[in-house]
Structure 1
């Protein structure tokens, strides 16, 4: 086990090269030391001084003094320093929170200019101190949570006066983290990347590591009976007290995608338990009026959802492919029969929700995602069995999708589906649909503040389709409306931006039960929610991105054989231009 002294030394070596003095009236050097063994919320100590040596020594003494009375050793250590500060009135702070999306206030807050009573950005968000509830979309001071954490941090005798009698101070910080590996990981400072490790390059090895970690996390959520631990809100480690069989199947699909890459045995075992639960208990067989048997995934509320059958197809087709088995072919045909049963043959439109008791219609339309999932599932089954019934059903559906202009939804499932459909039916109308699904969506992909993991899936599927168009001279005219450099920029940006939704240990350590969320993915504006389908979409996106990176490596290797003088490497896609003073003044 790594000794705390070694972790402190690694962090100190980094600080000496990076930490600069603050101007008066603030402490020249202001440091926050955070430590945890991973089983509980990080303990934070603050220290300041006229020079780094004094501030450091004071902080280490405080930290070691506190740890002397603790039963468990530290495994994670993080040290942050204040890079910039700005005094604001309480009213100004409240106004700034009101125009900031919940979870996205990225500064610490102090209540005195010496920062003795201060909270880092990570503490504020991990303790829901700026969360006003699911109905309040912007950040807001949560007085009860503020006072509760202040008592935890400073002791029961400390009374948090809100609003304060004086000014508040916004703090821009930067940090360094050291875990069990003893490596000092520099952390990003101000901006949307704040608080997580600075990843120099999102290369294939880094993406593989993210896939491996997050797939292992999902595997650990699969219980002995094959059901998942569905999810929880990590600020206070509260479980989500419900279940969703559609998300069970779709999360299984993502795990199988990941296993194809990692071949991890624990992941394989979790997949088998989950498949067994799905096929034996969650799917029911019905006899249709035609006499055919159809299978349906039944969800809570005794509902049959079109998307449920669809993701069962995706999971079981993928299982058959990567495990080299055909054991699920009879069930796959029955699931596809269920989808076709839910399709209106004259129009191609799908009904979305049935009552499980008698297969009567409950809801004709619920969410557009079901349409793309259903068509994609049928296409994947067609690819496995070449049964023309399933392709015909998809083409009927696309007749409806085109007339209804479903491309306006910019749905990632439709992107997956049209990419698959054009492999077998490379027709202009389908290519055109796929391009419309992304061509006017690039600004959204580039500018969306939330991580929105399905955007990467959307772009990756579209990228595969575009690559095939580029190999078809008769179709080149379709690309005239697509800004290809902007498309490529948007794809790369979205892949890199997903790093902000990963629970690195330096992020997880401030929540109530850090080890329970480490290596998962979260949705920041939903109270950092971790749910199996949240993890699933990040995971599928990174599996696809890893394939793209590996294909580029292979292509580069081929080109190097025929091109003795390769072009020089391009410059980094984004330089750091934002200054601390500009960000704090924003």
Structure 2
């Protein structure tokens, strides 16, 4: 882990933050595995359910479960995994081999989002099936087939699918393609079908071409996470690396003297960008200007995000929308995705963001 005398948090404090965020997410998992979404700035529960947020929380807890800990996280992972599968997985009309995660948790399929499918795959395919429950490989591959069905020959994804209307092209998500690419890459670990890697790489290369042509690059942390996961198998590393550098430069350009990695100052834009930056930093050229800037800014960003922790009280360990009200009037709002992204970022920082480099594995 990179250290800096002025900014680097003490390891003990970081461990407390990591354990606290995981424990808060565990406490939020109720109703036979369904997550309580969050609380507004007045402390009132938000009466909603979001399948993508559920999958994201499961993804972070699965990461936490991979690391040594005295906290019993497996029962929560097991319950949340079963709920997500039972309530949301349904076949796609007319495509018996495709499974989607539908947005209605009561089992009345209407709309399925690309991002929810990608995140669920990323979570499930990172789990040890001998310790916690996850859907059978046949179902996981069916989710991969659904994702692939939303992609055209150029690598572009449709973001939403409606049960009666099919693919919906009028709305595109910034993050769903990266989430899909990450999920497909992780799927390869349990189903060694090279089509998953091909689809993931085509998705990232499409984003690279689109952003290079437009001259506009968004702070797409999921694309960075997918790039890191795909790297050992990638065929077009040069193009992927150029794309990653573009995203990193975009993120660093919004860095603030406070340590925030966005001009808005909210917590989650900083923690999500931390996730992406930590994922790809070992892939970046040594001595490159972007690498030097990155190493200088990372400790400050981690310290900034830690200021948003809730210390004491009913929501001990939760993560606020912003570190203080001067940044955002809704600073004390709490949501599971705020904790999810902070937990993943803090674990990556603590781990030192290790990477596999060199020739890498070959596609089957």
Global fold match (TM > 0.5): yes
Do residues 309 (structure 1) and 117 (structure 2) align? Answer: yes
* CA shift for structure 1 position 312: 0.7
Of 266, 269, 275, which residue of structure 2 is paired with 1:450? 266
Question: Which of 10, 19, 24 pairs up with 1:203?
Answer: 10
Match of 2:336 among 508, 529, 532: 532
Specify whether residues 327 and 353 from structure 1 end up closer, same or farther in structure 2 by C-alpha distance, changes over 3 A only: closer
- The answer to whether residue 273 in structure 2 is matched with residue 465 in structure 1 is no
- Report the equivalent of 1:353: 160
After superposition, the C-alpha distances for 1:264-320 in whole angstroms (9 at most, x for unaligned) are 45321111110110112211123645xx51111111483210001001101101113
Partner of 1:484: 291
In 1, Cα distance between equivalents of 2:149 and 2:342: 32
Using the TM superposition, name which of 247-256 and 383-392 deviates more: 383-392
- Contact 2:8–2:300 at 8 Å: present in 1 too? no
**Residue pairs, 1:164-563, within 5 angstroms:** 202-233=9-40, 235-264=41-70, 266-286=72-92, 288-289=94-95, 292-300=96-104, 302-320=110-128, 323=131, 328-344=136-152, 346-355=153-162, 357-358=163-164, 360-405=166-211, 408-425=217-234, 427-447=237-257, 448=262, 449-451=265-267, 452=269, 453-466=271-284, 470=286, 480=288, 482-505=289-312, 514-515=313-314, 517-524=315-322, 525=328, 526-548=330-352
Matching residue of 2:359: none
Instruction: Decide which structure has the larger Cα Rg and report it.
Output: 1
CA deviations over 1:331-381 (Å, ceiling 9, x no partner): 21011011011111x2211001111x3361234433210011111111111
CA distance in 2, matches of 1:320, 1:374: 21
| Counterpart-to-counterpart distance in 2, 1:202 and 1:288 | 53
What is the rounded CA distance, in whole Å, between the counterparts of 1:316 and 1:205 in structure 2?
A: 30
Deviation at 1:327, TM superposition (A): 6.1
Q: Is the 8 A contact 2:217 2:250 kept in 1?
A: no
Whether contact under 8 Å (1:445, 1:455) holds in the other structure is: no
Provide the C-alpha distance between the structure 2 equivalents of 1:361 and 1:396, rounded to a whole number of angstroms: 19
In structure 1, list runs of 5 or more residues that go unmatched: 1-198, 471-478, 506-513, 552-586
Residue 320 of structure 1: SS of its match in structure 2?
Answer: coil
Cα deviation per residue 1:450-493 (whole Å; 9 max; x = unaligned)? 33321211210121322xx55xxxxxxxx64x343221011111
Q: Hey, what's the Cα distance between the residues in 2 that align with 1:542 and 1:321?
A: 25
CA contact (8 A) 2:74 2:132 kept: no
Alpha-carbon RMSD? 2.6
SS of residue matched to 1:318: coil
Can you give the 5+ residue segments of structure 2 that lack an aligned partner in the other structure?
1-5, 323-327, 355-364
Aligned to 1:239, the other structure's residue is in SS state coil
Where does residue 361 of structure 2 map in the other structure? Answer: none
Residues 52 and 115, structure 2, Cα contact 8 Å, conserved in 1: yes
Q: Where do 1:558-569 residues align within 5 Å?
A: none
Classify 1:362/1:261 alpha carbon distance in 2 versus 1 (closer, same or farther; 3 Å).
Answer: same
Q: Which TM-score applies when normalising by structure 2?
A: 0.82
Counterpart-to-counterpart distance in 1, 2:194 and 2:7: 48
Change in 2 beyond 3 A, CA 1:457/1:322: farther
Measure, in 2, the Cα distance between the counterparts of 1:203 and 1:385.
40
Deviations 1:236-277 (A, max 9, x none): 321111110111011011011112224445321111110110
Q: Contact 1:294–1:334 at 8 Å: present in 2 too?
A: yes
Alpha-carbon distance in structure 1 between the residues aligned to 2:276 and 2:319: 18
* Greater per-residue strand proportion: 1
Q: How many residues align?
A: 328
Contact 1:353/1:364 (CA < 8 Å) preserved in 2? no
Q: Whole-Å Cα distance in 1 between the matches of residues 114 and 27 of structure 2?
A: 28
For residue 354 of structure 1, give the secondary structure of its aligned residue in structure 2.
strand
Residues in 2 aligned to 1:225 and 1:258: alpha-carbon distance in whole angstroms: 21
Q: How does 1:26-45 map to 2 (within 5 A)?
A: none
The answer to whether the 8 Å contact 1:316/1:328 transfers is: no
Post-superposition shift, 1:408?
A: 0.4
Partner of 1:177: none
1:415 alignment partner, SS class: helix
